[in-house]
Chain A
Amino acid sequence: MKVTESIVDNIAILNVEGSIDSKTAKEFEKAALSAINSQAQVIIDLSKVEFLSSAGLRVLLMIYRQIKAQSGKVVLVGVSEEIQEVMSNTGFINFFSIAETLQVGIKLLK
């Protein structure tokens, strides 16, 4: 897994690539926390993530709590159909804004 961060119009954009599992979830968490601490609005681009385990869901939960605590906003972009289904089965989907593309995601935050 690889995470790169960029900032566009005061929005932190996290680009994640690869699998988020028990091996890589910590690194994802670290990158997400640092992005949240720098900006109140965060986009997590998951379009290059082919696998997300419960360890990854736990990080999403942590991100949600952190963002909520600081009255910020988080948008997930490019979530695969399979990952969306897992998020939907576990009720996670109701707590996140999901956008198909980065442009739509940025619009959602404006």
Chain B
Amino acid sequence: MELKTFPAVIDSLDSIRQYIKAVAQEAGLDKKASYNLLVAVDEIATNIILYGFQEAELEGVIDVTTEKTDNFLKVVFEDDAAPFDPTKRELPDEEDFDLPLDERPIGGLGIYLTINGVSEFLYEYINNRNRNIFIVDIKQ
């Protein structure tokens, strides 16, 4: 298990993606799985930074832990911002995606991409910390 800490500021998005990209490559994820994981972590990191810290006028960090087994790659984001469960957001459904672009509600797109970008996405609030967990199955 490896831990890396990033300041919870918008400038960190780039470095978080670069870090996760390297981890995904090392874990042997293919290009598509790796890209979709990047989309997922970027969406959640953006939420944490913009709403958890910036809007609340707080300073803090995102602790990123990665763990690789034979079967999966697990990435965990931990932060001390106010509890926020992204899975409780209303998701766009199939019907929304059939709507013409000009009638379409746009909220929830990020969390939709997050959930669809990984094999499993989980949220926990433990010891006063938000934990966002991304799991990508590794095909044998």
Q: Nearest Cβ distance between residue B34 and chain A, in whole angstroms?
A: 9
A-B contact count, CB below 8 Å? Answer: 70
A82 to B17, CA, bound (A): 15
Judge whether B3 is part of the interface by a CB distance below 8 angstroms: no
A residues 35-76 in Cβ contact with B at 8 Å: 51, 53-55, 57-58, 61, 64-65, 68
Among B56-64, B78-86, B106-114, B125-133, the stretch in contact with A:
B106-114
Is the CB–CB distance between A23 and B10 below 8 Å? yes
- Say yes or no: A22 contacts B13, CB within 8 Å: yes
Contact of A89 among B49, B99, B102, B116 (CB under 8 A): B116
Q: Is the CB of B11 within 8 A of A23?
A: yes
Cβ of A19 under 8 Å from chain B: yes
A85 in the interface (beta carbon within 8 A): yes
Name B13's contact: one of A21, A58, A64, A68 (CB within 8 Å): A21
Bound Cα distance from A86 to B10, whole angstroms: 23
List 26 A-B pairs, Cβ < 8 Å: A21-B14, A21-B42, A22-B10, A22-B42, A22-B46, A22-B49, A23-B11, A23-B13, A51-B17, A51-B35, A53-B42, A53-B43, A53-B46, A53-B113, A57-B109, A58-B106, A61-B106, A68-B102, A82-B32, A86-B36, A90-B97, A90-B109, A90-B112, A91-B97, A91-B98, A95-B101
Interface residues of chain B, those whose CB is within 8 Å of chain A, are 10-11, 13-14, 17, 31-32, 35-36, 38-39, 42-43, 46, 49-50, 97-102, 104, 106, 109-110, 112-113, 116
